[in-house]
Amino acid sequence: MTVLDHRAPERPTLDAQDHGALEPVLPQRPTPKQNRLVDQFELGLDAPICLTWELTYACNLSCLHCLSSSGRRDPRELTTDECKALIDTFEAMQIFYVNIGGGEPTVRPDFWELLDYAVDHHVGVKFSTNGFRITPERAARLAATDYVDVQISLDGATPEVNDAVRGVGTYDAAMTAMANMQAAGMKDFKLSVVCTRHNISQLDEFKAIADHYGAQLRLTRLRPSGRGADVWDELHPLPEQQRELYDWLVANGEGVLTGDSFFHLAAYAEQDGTGGLPGLNLCGAGRVVCLVDPIGDVYACPFAIHDRFLAGNVREGHADPRGEHVDGFDGVWKHSELFADLRSPQTGGACTQCSAYDACRGGCMAAKFFTGLPLDGPDPECVKGNSAEALAAVDRTTLPGQSQDHSHTGTVRNAPSGIVPLTLMRRKPTSACDESPLAGV
């Protein structure tokens, strides 16, 4: 595992000569008492180490747990020229790399043009794909392109488990894509797995698949965001599976990427004296990471696409402390009131009194928000059980709804098979805007 999983692609290694001064410049703020990386990150950086860019909400699939409720394209998407201007900003801010997702980014007609533009402007790109469009020709093109990494999504080590969540034929598509990448000679591309109740027992199999294709395994946490909120109760790992996952990572995690997905598990180290997990044990939202969505809205976190965490829009900019207008993403990142608040050290809340607080820092902000828990309270999957009472008291009818939903309104060719039994209770939208982003326009 690596700290954050926020690093430039590994072919070739970016250095100062290639990319300018890659070391993030810390803002002029009080020096932390301890010179730990996490203490510096808590205050925020002058530019995100990486950011997620949802290039489009269009998708050829309809995965049950999609955190952005993707499916249909939003007609207000940034144009090709606007996307290139945003990449210019990323280059000027010396952002380490951009994690491009969606939707399925490869369905956007100008995707490959934008990929080349980013590479030509010294912005490393990692993009996530379901693999359907990774043909042998495109795999060869990717293998020959510097500063690009690819994540192939797979959520079951068998078709029965994967296709029930991601859709019919998606297992075979991912395998074909990985075979094409391997044949093209691309090294260390990523096999990306969202950990669920039905695939925790398949961790060894996932690692074997990654090793077979010369890929690197990347495990991420299921969040109750987007359509993931509708299947959270059925899909999120049980408490005993959380422990199984932690033990597996301790035993096998060398070389397995996790980013900041599982810092809520760090309390196990405090409980039993194990060495813990490498990685960031801090919510990086608005501090070192953020999300730009297809229409240019900037959110604090890729897993919290909700008006509560909307910081601004790259088309509008922001006012700096002197009241002067600062255009674009740079202005939003540096002068958003939301981001300033998130970068303020936490001084209260139930978790600060817990003996494991320094290890897990209270867990995931998005997971708390979408399960109805206070942001300064325990994570809904707190391994010490501190959230059980609070979760029991939550009025499920008042949970935060989606701010937007781009899900397909009709049938989807690769609809999930439903082999894994799921009881899907879609929440009734609280307003027309929850059903259509263009309602009332």
Q: Which two tokens stand for residue 363?
A: 């867990």
Which burial class, exposed, middle or buried, applies to 384 when counting CB atoms under 10 A from its CB (0-12, 13-18, 19+)? middle
- pLDDT score for 324: 66
- pLDDT score for 78: 97
CB-hemisphere CA count at 13 Å for 110?
13
- pLDDT score for 280: 59
Q: Which two tokens stand for residue 191?
A: 């096999």
Angle between helices 80-93 and 111-120 (to 10 degrees): 30
- CA-nearest of 197, 243, 228, 193 to 367 is 228
Query: In this structure, is the dihedral angle defined by the CA atoms of residues 360, 361, 364 and 369, taken in order, positive or negative?
Result: positive
pLDDT per position as a tens digit, 44-64:
578 998 899 999 999 999 999
- pLDDT score for 145: 93
Q: Which two tokens stand for residue 302?
A: 């890729």
- pLDDT score for 284: 83
Whole-prediction pTM value? 0.84
- pLDDT score for 4: 37
Compute the distance between CA of residue 282 and CA of residue 289 in angstroms, rounded to an integer: 11
- The residue ranges of the chain whose pLDDT is under 50 are 1-34, 421-441
DSSP H helical ranges for 306-436: 328-335, 337-342, 357-360, 365-370, 388-393, 432-435
- CA-nearest of 351, 355, 207 to 283 is 351
Domain assignments of the chain as residue spans, ordered by start: 20-432
Compute the distance between CA of residue 389 and CA of residue 393 in angstroms, rounded to an integer: 6
Compute the distance between CA of residue 289 and CA of residue 335 in angstroms, rounded to an integer: 15
Query: Among all chains, which residue has been given the structure tokens 């945003």?
Result: 86
- pLDDT score for 79: 97
Rounded to 10 degrees, the C-alpha dihedral 85/87/92/93 comes to 120
Question: DSSP 3-state assignment of 328?
Answer: helix
Query: Among all chains, which residue has been given the structure tokens 């998407």?
Result: 77
H helix or E strand, kind and range, residue 202: none
Q: Which two tokens stand for residue 116?
A: 């080349």
Question: DSSP 3-state assignment of 279?
Answer: coil
Domain 20-432 carries which CATH code?
3.20.20.70
Q: How far apart are the first and last CA of the chain?
A: 46
